[in-house]
Chains A and B, each alone.
Chain A
Amino acid sequence: MMGYNPTVAIMKTYDTETELVEALQQGEKRACAEMVKQFSPQVYRVARRLMDDPQEAEDVLQETFISACDHAEDFEGRSSLGTWLYRIANNAGLMRLRKKRIQTISIDEPIELDDGYVPRQLADWSFDPDEMVLTSELREIMDEAAAELSDALRAAFVMRDLEGLSTAETAEILGISESAVKVRLHRARLQLRDYLTAYLAGNGAEEASQ
């Protein structure tokens, strides 16, 4: 039967996001459950990418939905429900990261490219990422590289390059201008590139491309 998906029809209590939000704002448990069902994989995924530690990611996941279900009236409908949840998750993650360590770069501090940054690594890579298998060793190096980013840079990188959100959505989630998103994303990529080059232009390249 074309255009009919019985699973979705049974699962979905609310036909539109507007109906779901209205029910949420009236405090309906069913609406909270529906939102969790729809968005928890996405919120967990982004929490894992923002936090080093799986337990911290789970805490962020729980805090995000507790906050969203308890304060649904704060949702003004200017963005999609998904973007709003990303914003709550990002804020919850930042709060935890701030508590955990002294920031080397303040989130409020403007990050300019023209601050004397000079690429540390200019050697070429000896493999093509399209043709290589993502080995567990390389995956570990990539995770390490991302963990080295400041919280401000990591958040921009996670939303744009890992979650695939637009510059405008990322700006909304992070509460910064679109030009600041672009600068932070570029700065994050440069830093990741430096880190990976140290590995991929050296001894690791041969192993990684096998």
Chain B
Amino acid sequence: MSDPATHDHDRGKCRELLGDLSLYIDGEAEQELCDEIEAHMAECESCRIMVDTLRKTVTLYHTMPADPLPDDVEERLYKRLDIDNYLS
């Protein structure tokens, strides 16, 4: 059992699977690869944490609200394009 605080995450299997973890969390990995990742995670706490926190990272950014187009920016855009008579 590896200690996640000190484990350098550079063991062969961890490194081999690291590059495929986004495919895995996006549900785009083939079944065979999913099985391989899940079997490895059952034994490797570091990779469990990696997958969990990577997934949380993506979730956080998905919830981040976007900036709306401010009225003054919109007005300047229409003026710049000389279409301000179409601005409603």
Contact = CB atoms under 8 A, between A and B. Distances in A.
A86 to B, nearest CB: 14
Contact of B50 (A36, A122, A129, A139): A122
Contacts of A69: 81
B31 interface: no
A192 B88 CA distance: 40
Contacts of A182: 22-23
A142 B21 CA distance: 21
B73 to A, nearest CB: 5
Nearest to B60: A129
Nearest to A114: B19
A34 B86 CA distance: 8
Nearest to B59: A129
Interface residues of A, number: 50
A32 B86 CA distance: 10
A69 B86 CA distance: 15
B61 A142 contact: yes
A44 B18 contact: no
Given A37-B86, A61-B73, A124 B4 contact: yes
A129 to B, nearest CB: 5
Interface of B is mostly: helix
In the complex, the 8 A-B pairs of residues with the closest C-beta atoms, listed nearest first: A33-B86, A186-B22, A33-B83, A113-B19, A193-B57, A44-B69, A48-B67, A129-B59
Interface of B: 4-5, 7-10, 18-19, 21-23, 46, 49-50, 52-54, 56-69, 73-74, 76-78, 80-83, 86, 88
29 contacts: A11-B88, A33-B83, A34-B86, A36-B78, A37-B86, A65-B77, A113-B19, A118-B9, A118-B10, A122-B9, A123-B49, A124-B49, A128-B56, A129-B56, A130-B59, A134-B65, A138-B60, A139-B64, A142-B64, A161-B62, A182-B22, A182-B23, A183-B19, A185-B22, A186-B21, A189-B22, A189-B57, A196-B53, A196-B60
Interface of A: 11, 29-30, 32-34, 36-37, 40-41, 44-45, 48-49, 58, 61-62, 65-66, 69, 113-114, 117-119, 122-125, 128-130, 134, 138-139, 142, 146, 157, 161-162, 182-183, 185-186, 189-190, 192-193, 196-197
